[in-house]
Structure 1
């Protein structure tokens, strides 16, 4: 076979493959997209509305008819509520109805007492735990450069924003702290990785002036899996009240 004939054969073969791909694409595009049944949408809407916490897609799917595309259901509900006084949003790894932030002014109750604000120390401790978890009290103090009172940790534990994770495999076996789903919900985060990174913090104005060379904002993780240098808490520590935490 001459080189010219071979090129013609290769070209013909390539064109045939392209035609096949195009035919398959047309076939797939022609298939109708199955719309979730109205009853499935109503059930999902009711489940989310009745749940006191953000509801995960898996939990919703378990209550819908078998084979229902739960993601399509959630997209349709979210689209239906877009631009209204209530929105369906992803938060803390689940789905929940929330009022839009731009309507906060209309929902404010002037007669209601102002919400309790966290102290600067509590905000610093919460931020350190969020970014550096699992973290011990000593590690928090090392980052802050000052002592951290037990009362500050108690406040965050009582608020439900931090939890006891385990114990560090180190002398004294100090307790390690991490954040909770309630922390994500409170701050409108779907996952802990939604926390802003170094460049975002600069852009938001939280890191002004000269940033120390080598400053690192770690990629946060709130995995339930213990770190290699952690060990499980004792069974009796899982139900303690904040004031009973013994930081060794």
Structure 2
């Protein structure tokens, strides 16, 4: 084994073991004084010219790099998973069941303000999209689900969404009084029912202002549902025996409290987004 061949092997080992490109001074300190480094590097580069890795110059330094024609074949696509927050899960469920729905309406149903990134996360996943603008003061943007949403959750159409009774039986929603009261008054759309008309002509994502006009007040909703049987609050109405009606207090309790939206089947806290 000649000294020159040993020097080539030494340079090869140094470059292979280094995490970063090596400069001439870093290589030369391992070689005998007076060694022609440029000639050795040229010879080593020729040995690797047709290999899977090539000796390349990076600025004034040297390093081994994958051959350009091999690099595309080595690309491996990986799936990065990200967990949905509980707020995102609830928001997606509200949009699925109430679409088209505005940001303000989502916040009203959830009972808390909607963070800026929640809708962005669902948009990035491709599960929601702007549906237009509500014909009300402020013209707020309305949101609806996409075909990607149906495909991800194995739904043929929105008609395939489980109903309130199915969700409760499966234990996928919290049967709190507020959501029960909304369903009793008909404020929860059944699968396949259309929401309010929107104007699809302007689909930008500007900040929404105001809420929809024309929505019935709680009193009007109760009056529409119960008609003449509606007993005004505080009227002290009683049954034939003079005892207060038991349902009145229960109805008032159903009006209060935080509301939890129905969660779409198979959407649980921690659902992963595949990207």
Which has the higher relative contact order, 1 or 2, with Cα contacts under 8 A spaced 6 or more apart?
A: 2
Q: TM-score, normalised by structure 2?
A: 0.42
Higher share of residues assigned helix: 1
Q: Over alpha carbons, which structure has the higher Rg?
A: 2
Q: Normalising by the residue count of structure 1, what TM-score does the alignment of the two structures yield?
A: 0.46
